[in-house]
Chains A and B, each alone.
Chain A
Amino acid sequence: MVGIAELRVAALGYRIRTSGLGSCIGLTLFDPIARIAGLVHVMLPTIVDMVRASEPINRAKYADTGVPDLIEAMKKLGAKQARFEAKMAGGAQMFAVGKNQPERLRIGERNIEACKKVLREQHIRLIAEDTGGIYGRTIEIDAGTGRLMIRSVSHGIKEI
């Protein structure tokens, strides 16, 4: 179980799950040879948004620090970055945003873009995604197969 702004890695025989993804992104990495998977629950696009420097920084909360940290955690378990396959889900727009709503409410789209940018920079292939929409998701990755199960209250269960 991965909470908001947390990350976990696991090996064959385990599943990693995070629930209630709205505008947040659940990004998973999988090494099909080592059979190691990781999941990070990203809340915001960039650590640059961090306003109050006095607080301890939770790197897993931001796409631009959480994803690189997940890569490192995977490597520590013996996974190889060149083999990584990424999947992601989430980034929804939970409430319709009207014209008078501030840009910062379009956080879902910004999170999706930020995650893709980090993956490009790290030369990791994004092989599947279930992002956007207006509904929340719970996801679970099987560390043995890399299969990602996605559940939502309006669309049921699917697998990518």
Chain B
Amino acid sequence: MKDPYTFQEIEIDVLREIGNIGAAHAATSLSTLLGVRIDMEVPRANVVGFEEITNQVGGPEAVVVAVFLQVVGEAPGNLFFLLEFDVAIKLLRHLPLSEEIGSAPMRETTIQNGTITRIVSLSDLERSAISEIGNIMAGSYLASLADFTKLHLEPTTPMFTVDMAGAILAYGLIQIGNMGDQALLIETSFFDGDEAIKGHFFFIPEPESLPIIFRSLGIGSA
């Protein structure tokens, strides 16, 4: 059996293009929503180990706001949209909503056993605002991916949480975990002019989806 994670150069290009197209549409949505210019980084398509996957967002313990959905249909996979917690707060302040948004006491510092720890929480309104942005972003990523590949791809209901990056991403890797210690990660980051709002898409196709994606785009054996 061919190792599903060994790619030709053209295949890597295609995977990057997938990250590019998906995130570009999502970034346009966000830009419209916030009324600010959003730029994108060049997408990366890498085969990574479990540990490396959280590096881009500040390590396994970094607190992130995450929207997770499963891609079902012809090329199943997992899609994450991640914002670092502080970035999510900045984003809330950009929204034309009530004054309370982004200024509520969302962070309490407590001292237990001599260690200072930050407990993070969001109000219901903040939660639902960020969650909705995430849904729009993830939905728009997936829609353009389906358009590009002409594959039938559907999202499950997006799920939302605020927690440690490691705990969240490992969850999406479970099915990949049944098979190996590595996953193909297509990653695109975007930011506004001064990098105040930086977000990340992680698309993790299941290994079986890869030949299907390649074929749909006319490369690889039929």
A134–B167 Cα distance when bound, in Å, is 10
* Chain A window 38-61, contacts with chain B (Cβ cutoff 8 Å), 1 for yes, 0 for no: 000001100001111011001001
Q: Is the CB of B164 within 8 A of A136?
A: yes
Q: Is the CB of B178 within 8 A of A136?
A: no
Q: Which residues of A contact B115 (CB under 8 A)?
A: 157
Q: Is the CB of A19 within 8 A of B166?
A: yes
Q: Is the CB of A156 within 8 A of B178?
A: no
Q: Which residues of A contact B168 (CB under 8 A)?
A: 22, 94, 136
The stretch of B13-21, B30-38, B60-68, B95-103 in contact with A is: B60-68
- Asked if B162 is an interface residue, CB under 8 A from chain A, the answer is yes
- Asked if A65 is an interface residue, CB under 8 A from chain B, the answer is no
- Asked if A4 is an interface residue, CB under 8 A from chain B, the answer is yes
Q: Which residues of B contact A154 (CB under 8 A)?
A: 119-121, 162-163
A26–B168 Cα distance when bound, in Å, is 15
B41 → A minimal CB distance (Å):
24
**Contact surface of A with B, Cβ cutoff 8 Å:** 3-5, 19-24, 43-44, 49-52, 54-55, 58, 61, 92, 94-96, 98, 100-101, 104-105, 107, 134-138, 149, 151-159
A41–B1 Cα distance when bound, in Å, is 30
A134 → B minimal CB distance (Å):
7
Q: Is the CB of A156 within 8 A of B156?
A: no
A54-B1, A153-B118 known; 8 new pairs, CB 8 Å cut-off, are A22-B164, A22-B168, A23-B171, A52-B1, A55-B180, A92-B167, A95-B160, A154-B120
Secondary structure of the A side of the interface?
Answer: loop
Contact of A61 among B1, B63, B157, B181 (CB under 8 A): B181
Contact status of A51 and B117, CB under 8 A, knowing A19-B166, A92-B167, A138-B164? no
A98 → B minimal CB distance (Å):
6
Q: Is the CB of A153 within 8 A of B120?
A: yes
Closest to B61 in A: A19
Q: Is the CB of A21 within 8 A of B167?
A: yes
7 contacts between A and B (CB under 8 A): A58-B181, A95-B160, A96-B159, A104-B174, A154-B119, A157-B113, A159-B113
Q: Is the CB of A138 within 8 A of B61?
A: yes
- For A98, A104, A152, A156, which residue has the most chain B Cβ atoms within 10 angstroms? A156
- For A58, A107, A136, A159, which residue has the most chain B Cβ atoms within 10 angstroms? A136
B169 → A minimal CB distance (Å):
8
- Asked if B128 is an interface residue, CB under 8 A from chain A, the answer is no
- Asked if B112 is an interface residue, CB under 8 A from chain A, the answer is yes
